[in-house]
Amino acid sequence: MRKLLVVIFVCVSAFCSAAQRLLSDSAQIYLLTCTPGEQVWSKYGHTGIRVVDATNKLDIVFNYGIFNLMADDFYLKFVRGETYYQLGIESYPYFEKFYSSIGRTTYWQELNLTQVQKQQIFDALLINYQPKNRYYLYNFVFDNCATRPYYLIKNALQDTIVSSYKGYEGTSYREAITHYTGHNSWVDFGINLVFGSDADQPMSNEQRLFLTEELMNYVAKAQLSDGTPLIKNQHIAPFPFAEVAWYANCWWGIILFMLLMLALSIYDRKRGKLTWGVDLTLGIVYLVLVALVVFLTCFSCHPLVGFNWRLLLFPFIHVCTRLIYILR
């Protein structure tokens, strides 16, 4: 209860400070990037916008990543793409201390802005924080805690942002996401299972900015249309990723499955008896997986979710290898 009261006090204090709408000449605005965490929803890092104004005793973070994990049917709604996130305001010391306490580093990039541009961004953030605007339908790829700050900054500046950073430009959504989940085989398996063919399309420059590290590196080398660098000062470093497992590539799983089924069929042929229990178990697994993907394809709002045609390779390989026994 005490911790809850502290959080409420911090948020209320931050909001009251933000009510001071006119920034002083000494104000600074930062893009914050937090390194990935252990939970599934934190594996891609996090982004926030920090507003500092010593004259007005203001040091707050606008955080687009607030959600209620205890809400009714949260996981079902998340899978179906019906989860609402919200913009929150909290003091920077509390924000940094929280992420530090769970082993996550916070990097910062000071935006190189005129006084007018700073005020435009701050005003846009306050408008976003109004009760009628602060909630938004979260989308893992197209509308998340990284894309919201980027497009808010871009729209407030009313200018073109160009970056020389290449990163994942030209790679697919599936390839880029595997870089973050490839060391966790079950998470990677689930994503590859439900992502359809749209996930294999190459990403454009701005489409890849749903990944927080991509956004951090992108703005680090960005400039406005007049050649002005977007970043004035910064403290950043590469994310500490574990090495992606070799089996994270789904084709290795398909090849391994084919070899195992081939070995089983040869074994059954030599002994003259079919191991029907394996066939029955695999048949049930196929039905469950196909039913799950069909359900998500029909009822999920996630744009990348769709029928994964690679799934059909498993029963196809299964049938073809079993012909070795049937046609003996």
- Show me where the domains of the chain are located: 2-169+204-235, 249-326
Q: What pLDDT, in 10s, does the model give residues 124-135?
A: 999 999 999 999
Cα separation, 109 vs 126, in Å, equals 21
Nearest to 119 by CA among 53, 184, 182, 59: 53
| Paired residues of 63 in beta bridges | 48, 88
Q: What pLDDT, in 10s, does the model give residues 172-190?
A: 998 888 878 766 667 777 7
Q: Which two tokens stand for residue 100?
A: 């530090």
**Model pLDDT, residue 13:** 47
Name the residue type at position 325. Y
**Model pLDDT, residue 19:** 53
Contact 184, 244 (CB under 8 A): no
Nearest to 33 by CA among 202, 146, 137, 113: 146
- Own/partner long-range contacts of 125-131 (Cβ < 8 Å, ≥24 apart): 125/49, 125/51, 125/62, 125/87, 125/152, 126/18, 126/21, 128/62, 128/87, 128/152, 129/15, 129/18, 129/62, 129/87, 129/89
Q: What pLDDT, in 10s, does the model give residues 238-277?
A: 887 656 555 556 677 788 888 999 888 888 888 888 888 8
- pLDDT of residue 121 exceeding 90, the answer is yes
pLDDT higher at 79 or 9: 79
Q: What pLDDT, in 10s, does the model give residues 74-93?
A: 777 777 777 899 999 999 99
CATH class of 2-169+204-235: alpha beta
Nearest to 314 by CA among 247, 255, 270: 255
pLDDT higher at 2 or 302: 302
Q: What pLDDT, in 10s, does the model give residues 23-52?
A: 999 999 999 999 998 887 788 899 999 999
Q: What pLDDT, in 10s, does the model give residues 92-104?
A: 999 999 999 999 9
